[in-house]
A and B are shown apart, each in its own frame.
Chain A
Amino acid sequence: MPVGYSIYVERPSLIHQRIDPRTKLAALGAVFVLALAFNHPAVLGGILVLVLLAAQLAQLSWRSLLPAMVGSLWFLVLSLLIWPFYVKGGPSLFILFGSTISVNGVLFGLAMGLRVALMVLAAGVWMMTTSPQKLTVGLLRLGLPYKAGVAMTAAIRFVPLLNAERITITEAQQARALDLKRENPFNRAVKSIAIIGPLFVRSIDVAQSLALALEARGFAARDGRTSIVQIGMTTTDRIILIALAAACLLAIGLRILGIGLITRAYL
């Protein structure tokens, strides 16, 4: 069965192959902490550049990052349009709809857009560089129950599978002259049932047979499972973890001191 897409892209890079999935998870967490700790666009922009550098190091193509970037751009525009009406301070620029637009407002809008971009891109890079299998093993080592681990991998596996199903169903209904694009919004909602219905039934079908197949192969017969995927922390991992922890502590400290902020009024 042709599969629509998978988020993870295998590459022979250091980040893909050498770094422990737990470290990568920690790095993602750290980026989130940093993104929330600062609200100055220069700082957030700097961190964003670091994330993009990591993507380069991981040999990810710009093209694969494009969807995340375009998505974030929308947020950037939106937040540039909204925040200046709420955040004041600094030299005034102009007056719009009876509201004074100030430098700080624009900077804060920029920062919020960059913050979303940062989180989205970091999550994207993380998913593209961390194989679901290794991640699961990593989480199991961190104490995740093994059944939850399998559920997680299955869920990740489900996304492309259900997408393929959705495409097939849409094609089958198009062949029955269903043309959602030509309907008015109300009819479109009503007629979407022709796609949602079978998709629902198919997902239940697939889930049920997956459950059976797992059981038939002895899943949950013993407490716990072994795995052919081997992971382990190296010195590199430890250095990275220490650096991440230091960065987070520093960021929190700076936040308390009020450095790297446009305003203290908002997060």
Chain B
Amino acid sequence: MAEPVQLQRMEPAIDVSEVRFRYSASGPEVLHDVSLRVEQGEYVALIGQNGGGKTTLAKHFNGLLKPVAGVVRTMGVDTRGPSVAELARTVGYVYQNPDHQIFAQKVRTEVAFGPHNLKLPPEEAARRVDEALELVGLREYADEFAFSLGRGLRQKLAVASVLAMSPPVLVVDEPTTGLDLQGSRNILDLLGRWNADGRTIIVITHDLALVAERVPRTVVISGGRIIADGATSTVLSEADLLGKAFLRPPQVTRVAQRLQKFGIASDVMTVAQLRAQLRLALGE
């Protein structure tokens, strides 16, 4: 295997430039001239309606898909060069359905699969596995049967098995589907903790309320184009723009916008913010 991809501080984590993509030569173009730059250490949400092109774009980040035109660089490396397995050192990718990757009997073996593929020394691999299990809160399940875990725990297992490879960039495709609020919060919180260590996270999700609460930057994809990109509080408060992607601002934001004439800001993202604004407006 080639040398690990060099971590160059100044490189953007993901640099997509004027990318076009179609699944087959005769098929329709699915990404039209997409450009996106994600710096190292950012935590970004990719949102948009079904079929908008989120997964297609995300699969370009680790070279699962190669652009038909344009260039994708992850940590400065053109994804057309290395294989997906080589890029896996740099970019972790968690699939939506954990059942697409769980195969080992024991939770621990499952998590160790990636580190072993990276040919890490045994002690190092074991340490990473323990860390990952700890981080997602599966420590006491380490010796359980992987398939006997419930859906929420399997989702965490899938995340842990990629975290154990310790990639500087992590892409997570719809980690919250099929999870209840508690489970979804858990996952986004743990991604937040991972991000706090300076790693880059890109999360695809339909859960705007959670994005509003927890993710600082939001990118909206619709019809294969990026139609909005910026601070979450700005992007998620623009009802007209979101409407184009058949989305709408989170409920609390819409409430705040209705109360604008009472001096409430229109980019309120959380209940706590709304409460603070109301207190202010009521002169408390």
Contacts and interface: CB of A to CB of B under 8 A. Distances in A.
Interface of A: 2, 165, 168-169, 171-179, 182, 193-198, 201-202, 205
A198 B102 contact: yes
Most B C-beta atoms less than 10 A away, residue of A169, A175, A196:
A175
Given A182-B85, A201-B147, A176 B114 contact: yes
B102 A179 contact: no
Given A175-B84, A182-B1, A198 B99 contact: yes
Most B C-beta atoms less than 10 A away, residue of A171, A172, A182, A201:
A172
A201 B91 CA distance: 27
Interface string B181-224: 00000000000000000000000000000000000000000000
19 contacts: A169-B101, A172-B100, A175-B84, A175-B93, A176-B162, A177-B88, A177-B114, A177-B118, A178-B113, A178-B117, A179-B83, A179-B117, A182-B1, A194-B101, A197-B104, A198-B100, A198-B102, A201-B99, A201-B147
A2 B30 CA distance: 13
Contacts of A179: 1, 83-86, 117
Nearest to A183: B117
Interface residues of B, number: 30
B95 A174 contact: no
B101 A173 contact: yes
B259 to A, nearest CB: 42
B161 interface: yes
B262 interface: no
A176 B117 contact: yes
A174 B23 contact: no
Contact of A177 (B89, B101, B147): B89
Given A2-B23, A182-B85, A176 B101 contact: yes
B67 interface: no
Contacts of A194: 101, 103, 113
A194 B104 CA distance: 8
Interface in B113-138: 113-114, 117-118
Nearest to B116: A177
B165 interface: yes
Contact of A169 (B1, B89, B100): B100
Given A178-B85, A193-B103, A194-B113, A168 B118 contact: no
Most A C-beta atoms less than 10 A away, residue of B86, B99, B100:
B100
Contacts of B92: 175
Contacts of B117: 176-179
A119 B117 CA distance: 44
A195 B83 CA distance: 18
A183 to B, nearest CB: 10
A169 B102 CA distance: 9
A205 B97 CA distance: 13
B113 A205 contact: no
A195 B102 CA distance: 9
Nearest to A165: B100
Contacts of A195: 103
B88 to A, nearest CB: 4
A176 B113 contact: yes
Nearest to B59: A171
Nearest to B97: A168
Given A172-B101, A174-B84, 14 more contacts: A169-B100, A169-B101, A171-B59, A171-B95, A175-B93, A176-B113, A176-B165, A178-B85, A179-B1, A179-B83, A179-B85, A179-B86, A196-B103, A201-B103
B71 interface: no
Contacts of A176: 88, 101, 113-114, 117, 161-162, 165
A202 B103 contact: no
Contacts of A198: 99-103
A2 B101 CA distance: 19
Nearest to B113: A176
3 closest A-B pairs by beta carbon, nearest first, are A197-B103, A179-B85, A177-B117
Nearest to A205: B99
A198 B162 CA distance: 16
Nearest to B62: A175
Interface string B10-45: 000000000000010000000000000000000000
Interface string B73-93: 000000000011110110111
A171 B114 contact: no
A202 B99 contact: yes
B159 to A, nearest CB: 12
A175 B61 CA distance: 11
B248 to A, nearest CB: 26
